[in-house]
Chains A and B, each alone.
Chain A
Amino acid sequence: MTRFLLKRIGQAVVVIFFVTVIVFLLLHSVPGGPAHGILGPKASPQAIAEFNREHGFDKSLVQQYWAYLNELFHGDLGESYTLNQSVASLIGQRIPKTLVLTGLSTLVALAVAIPLGVWQARRRKGLADYAVTTVVFVGYATPVFFLALVLVIVFTQKTQLLPPQAPQTQSIAGLFADSRALILPVLAGAIATIAAFSRYMRSAVLDNLAEDYVRTARAKGASERRVVWLHIMRNSLTPIVAMLGYYLPVLFSGALVIESVFNYPGMGLLFWNAAQTSDYPILLGAVLVIALATVIGSLLADIVQALIDPRVRGTIK
């Protein structure tokens, strides 16, 4: 187990190194470089040269990368070109709201997808299974923005049941205070992931149904209900845990789209606005934070999986 942990953490560190290299190179290929961003596009060549010398942008690529890494270690992601604020504090303000959005949508999605997957697996190749599979198939192909628009049309334009815009607030408490406005963004995020989650759950349950322990439990006289909802369900959750870790990039991409549709004040909206104004420090700071979250997320998912599943633990060397 210790060897597995060390190896897995070592891998994650190498991955993070590559991520910082990619982000650094992107930052470096920005047209005009940081001097243009901060001094403005009409800055004189002398001012640009002065700025570059002052900030070390005239040094070699390796030296610059080293300086960049050093800043990262101190939590410095640079200054926004347009918002007069440090990128770290901007992201720090926005990320909790994005986590609330993705967290709630994921919880709703799991609450629907897990029972749905179990239910489907038990009716495998039945009419109900085919019907749900078809819906899931179409759901999987539907872009989140189209889904969000359909929700807006149905719930705000046609029926006026729900507000079309997410809560506009600075605080987390404010988000929950205006919970009616939270429903549509959360719903859009949830529906978008239910398709994939229920598909995973269905196949995990199907795999488990064929296992020996299921036959043993049945032979010992356990009720079908107990076998399915206690034994199979618990064992089928392991792949779901692993999948959640690797699903983080998809969840963040979904948040980007949903936040821009519903004007939800999270990191996705910050990123989208930064893309409109070419605010590269924000863009690449956000990319870095998301990539780090994903690497750490999948590392944790692997460790949790090894902890809760003795079979996985057994195969680890």
Chain B
Amino acid sequence: MSLSAPVAAEPQPVRVAGSYRRMATLFFANRLAVTGLVILAALLVFCFLGPLIHHTDQTHTNLSAANLSPGTGGHLLGTDDVGHDVLGRLMIGGQTSLEIGVAAGLLATLIGTVWGAISGYAGGWLDALMMRVVDAGIAIPALFLLLVTATILRPTVGVQILIIGCVSWLVPARLVRAEALSLRSRDYVQAMKAMGGSHRRAVFRHIIPNAIGTVVVNATFQVADAILLIAYVSFLGLGVPPPKTDWGGMLSKGISYTYDGYWWLIFPAGVAIVLVVCAFNAIGDGLRDSFEVRLEGR
């Protein structure tokens, strides 16, 4: 044992690096995942670099140029009911959707990971109690809770991120807890505790890093869900206040003009939401598949 240990320890880092490289290879061999990555990159460029090329005024209204159809007056996608250029609006609306979605998705993942890791590691009555809180949270649909809080607080970008993050951490909490339950009885966690390691160290240095696959995969799905959630809230009229907007809010304004046939107020924003959610889900699927294969290789 004492002789073989250093020998076995040596190739360890090489194998880890190799397994990540293998994971990347697998991910990039997954056509769906790569398509998702390309779509996401294209959307990011469109939303954040687009306004540098396509200059539009998105703060002042211009009612004389309202509801122009696409192509007129140099507006590639027409204008909305207060004269904003729709193409430019799609860019700044996308910025809001993506910023809120990514930040809220990450915040939810962070809260859920810590909650789930502590719950699973603790076990016993504390675990049972913490999981019942999660059950209670799951029973209250996030959309309803968001509408209630949106009427209490003014829904700025920061507030939206905080609230969505605080209502959608329940799924990652469950997933990470399941991992933590199996990880806490592993030898290395037991050994660390026998050497006098603290609970905090066990959770943050051993449980969470070893559940990172689940966490990363789930984070991409969380972002997709957060983008959908923010779109729903805005569509129902309680999104970020004007002149800011997001894709759901754009669609919400477009609904009043359905019968005028102003399709450019509905379809660009709708398709953008579908595209970005598909992209994140595809990336998540790809990551999950490559993580699974990596773990099988162990």
Contacts and interface: CB of A to CB of B under 8 A. Distances in A.
Given A143-B273, A249-B141, A275 B266 contact: no
Given A149-B255, A149-B258, A290-B144, A283 B136 contact: no
Contacts of B277: 141
Given A15-B132, A256-B143, A275-B147, A143 B238 contact: no
A153 B152 CA distance: 34
A141 B132 CA distance: 29
Interface string B140-179: 1111110111111000000000000000000000000000
A246 B261 CA distance: 39
Interface stretch (B41-49, B52-60, B79-87, B227-235): B227-235
Contact of B274 (A15, A142, A287, A292): A142
Give the 10 A-B CB pairs with smallest separation, nearest first: A18-B136, A141-B277, A249-B141, A146-B270, A294-B139, A291-B139, A253-B143, A15-B135, A141-B278, A14-B132
Contacts, number: 140
Interface stretch (A23-31, A118-126, A208-216): A23-31
A276 interface: yes
Contacts of B132: 11, 14-15, 18
A246 B174 CA distance: 14
A256 to B, nearest CB: 6
A252 B144 contact: yes
Nearest to A27: B148
27 contacts: A14-B129, A22-B140, A26-B152, A138-B278, A140-B281, A141-B281, A143-B231, A143-B235, A144-B232, A145-B231, A149-B258, A249-B138, A249-B139, A252-B141, A253-B142, A256-B143, A257-B235, A272-B147, A275-B148, A275-B150, A275-B151, A275-B238, A276-B237, A292-B139, A294-B140, A295-B136, A295-B139
B133 interface: yes
A260 interface: yes
* Chain B residues touching A, range: 35 or more
A271 interface: yes
Nearest to B144: A287
Interface of A: 11, 14-16, 18-19, 22-23, 26, 29-31, 137-138, 140-146, 149-150, 152-153, 157, 246, 249-250, 252-253, 256-257, 260-261, 271-272, 275-276, 278, 280, 283-284, 286-287, 290-292, 294-295, 298
A289 to B, nearest CB: 10
Interface of B: 129, 132-133, 135-145, 147-152, 224, 228, 231-232, 235-238, 248, 251-252, 254-255, 258-259, 261, 263, 266, 270, 273-274, 277-278, 281-282
Contacts of B139: 15, 19, 249, 290-292, 294-295, 298
Which of A18, A138, A283 has its CB near the most chain B CB atoms (within 10 A)? A18
